[in-house]
Amino acid sequence: MSGAGGQVAVAAREVRRHFGALAAVDGISLSVKQGEIFGLVGPDGAGKTTLMRMLAGVLRPDEGEIVLDGVDVLADPEAAKARLSYMPQRFGLYEDLSVDENIFFYAELFGVERKARKTRAAELLDAAGMTPFRRRLAGQLSGGMKQKLGLVCALIHTPTVLLLDEPTTGVDPVSRREFWGILYSLRESGVTILLSTAYMDEAERCSRLALMHEGRVHDCDTPARLKQAMPGVLFAVTAPDPRAVRAALQDAPGVLGALLMGDRVNLRADSAARAPELAARLHERGVAYGDIAQVEPGIEDVFVALTGAGAA
């Protein structure tokens, strides 16, 4: 179920939050449509968690308006809580309780009727592949299974909006893939998902992305359109010493930016015709390299280019 053209499920207008002199969130406005998976991407300190906590009604903004599923979060936070579920980075599972007991606790917390709770829990555990582990203590689960249990607990009261703050950080790749399978199923059922992520491959899976830096949203669009908006072209330069390549090329004519990416440098230039000049410069300076190839940009390249954030 696509969010395109649908109703607005989450709306924030000119939201601000300061901690002393620090503007953690500095005038953010965004709109998330029903059935979208909307991603917040940015480094630590960008304001993602602060924004997420304000959307969930956990933290009150200094200024601005937040409407969630038609409910004014600031005027009626209790009504908003019935429609949303917020899963922070460290979800509050009780490790000395079993999987079933944790689910029971959250069902009680949200006031879910016992008959409905039993059916809902069975459906969610089956979808998460956790039915065989119902009696296992939460503290004995793997990191990925703990996150899936957290998601089950967050969904037990059938929310229409799900807020997830970096839900797969530290989770193994297989569990991350399974977790995203659950998110896709939720989207198909009409649940709106707003999440923050530190993984660029996960950002690619979102319907739309907001690129956050220093408390502001710099750009917001689909991953494909954000890539199209990146100025210049991108070259991948492989080399035995990528740092030497970056040092040699980052101030070369026509170079707009250089980002270290493992065994290569992603080099942004103003034209595809710059490749021979770049090769000649490396040769002149005695810097060994393997290849200079034009490539499609990733979200990390786009983020650095569009926000002006410094390359690592």
pLDDT tens profile 230-268: 999 999 999 999 999 999 999 999 999 999 998 999 999
**Kind and range of the H or E element at 87?**
strand 84-87
Question: What letter does residue 311 receive in the DSSP assignment?
Answer: P
Report whether pLDDT(3) > 60: no
pLDDT tens profile 202-216: 999 999 999 999 999
Mean pLDDT, the chain, rounded, equals 91
Rounded CA separation 35/208 (Å) = 11
Query: In 3D, which of 198, 190, 109, 212 has the Cα closest to residue 153?
Result: 109
pLDDT in the model for residue 310? 54
* Res. 89 pLDDT band, cuts 50 70 90: confident
pLDDT tens profile 136-191: 999 999 888 898 899 999 899 989 999 999 988 878 888 888 889 889 988 998 99
Which whole number is the average pLDDT over 276-287? Answer: 96
User: Which domains are seen in the chain, by residue range?
Assistant: 8-222 (3.40.50.300), 231-296 (3.30.70)
What are the Cα distances from residue 164, in Å, to 30, 96, 288, 293? 16, 24, 44, 37
Report which of residues 272 and 201 the model is more confident about.
272
Rounded CA separation 249/274 (Å) = 11
pLDDT in the model for residue 309? 65
pLDDT in the model for residue 2? 39
pLDDT in the model for residue 312? 40
Report whether pLDDT(6) > 90: no
Report whether pLDDT(76) > 80: yes
Which whole number is the average pLDDT over 69-81? Answer: 90
pLDDT in the model for residue 249? 96
Rounded CA separation 225/302 (Å) = 10
**Kind and range of the H or E element at 120?**
helix 114-127
